Amino acid sequence: MVKLAEISKREAMTNFIVPIDFSVDSLKGLEWAILFSQKKKINIQMVYVLNNSSSFQASVVELEQKYAEAHFKKLVKEFRPTLGNQSKLSYIVKKGKVYREIVNQVDSFEDAVVSASTHGASGFEELFVGSNALKIMAATEQPVFTVRTTIPEQINKIVVPIKLHLDTRQKAPHVADLAELFGAELHVISISTRNNKRDLARLESYSKQVCNYFEARNLQIVAKTLVGESLPSLTCNYSEAIDADLITIMSSAIDKWNVFLGSYAQQMLKTATVPLLSITPREKQIPAGFSTYGG
């Protein structure tokens, strides 16, 4: 089992991999990463992926390479002064399938995350909206931030949905680290489409374990139970009602390999206006009262 101290050290989120296609919308992923630089020293690496079509001539690929590098230099000049804590901003141009090259890049760092907009030109909207969004989560164990709307000036409220799944509690260490970093209030919402006593009791048990863990780390908590017809709707409506700045979800080990239209993670990616943090389940030991499969 992995101890909490080891988790925190390995998953410090110090390297942010940002897919860029040079559209205005794709820059939201960069702005989100810059928000973190205001709190600690991080490395931000922007990534552009050249078209991998074999029909393109070498001269066309060379022009696209020069185009990308020229635009990256402009972005570095524009955004580097906005970084805090001696954070660094760099870029890399790759060639291949967009999602695969992004995954390769984030996996090349031990403590990296993806920070991406859910809108953009070329292939990024296809990548991060719908079933293709789950492919990147399936291919990497690193956390994935996705941003759809305006970047908040500060992360003040984080929504932590608790569902009737064993891996739902695994997000606790990640969330606690973020709450400590930003001084954020945690909203632990137990969500269910079932209103029977047995399921609600089990859900309450999961929620209490997560809340106890947060309390052990001296974090501010609000706990609620919500029952309705749709888990994504319960999460999104609550998040919008309290003006949340981030929602944390698990990219289920089942859903990510067997993608179907009703998957919670997929629906959240399509509908949430609040930034999302998607975490892949792992096997971890959390020493404040509970152990879960996947972390």
Instruction: Tell me which residue of 66, 49, 52, 243 sits closest to 159, measured CA to CA.
Output: 243
4-147 and 157-292: identical CATH topology: yes
Comparing 73 with 131, the larger pLDDT belongs to 73
- Three-state DSSP at 142 gives coil
Q: Where are the domains of the chain?
A: 4-147, 157-292
Architecture of domain 4-147: 3-Layer(aba) Sandwich (3.40)
Q: Tell me the C-alpha distance between 257 and 117, whole Å.
A: 23
pTM as predicted: 0.86
Average pLDDT, stretch 12-35?
92
Question: Is CATH 3.10.180.10 the right assignment for the domain spanning 157-292?
Answer: no
Tell me the pLDDT tens digit for each residue of 102-158. 999 999 998 899 998 876 555 555 555 544 456 676 778 899 999 988 899 999 999
Comparing 243 with 258, the larger pLDDT belongs to 243
Tell me the pLDDT tens digit for each residue of 8-19. 434 469 999 999
- The kind and range of the H/E element at 162 are strand 157-162
CA 136, 295, 238, 194 torsion: positive or negative? positive
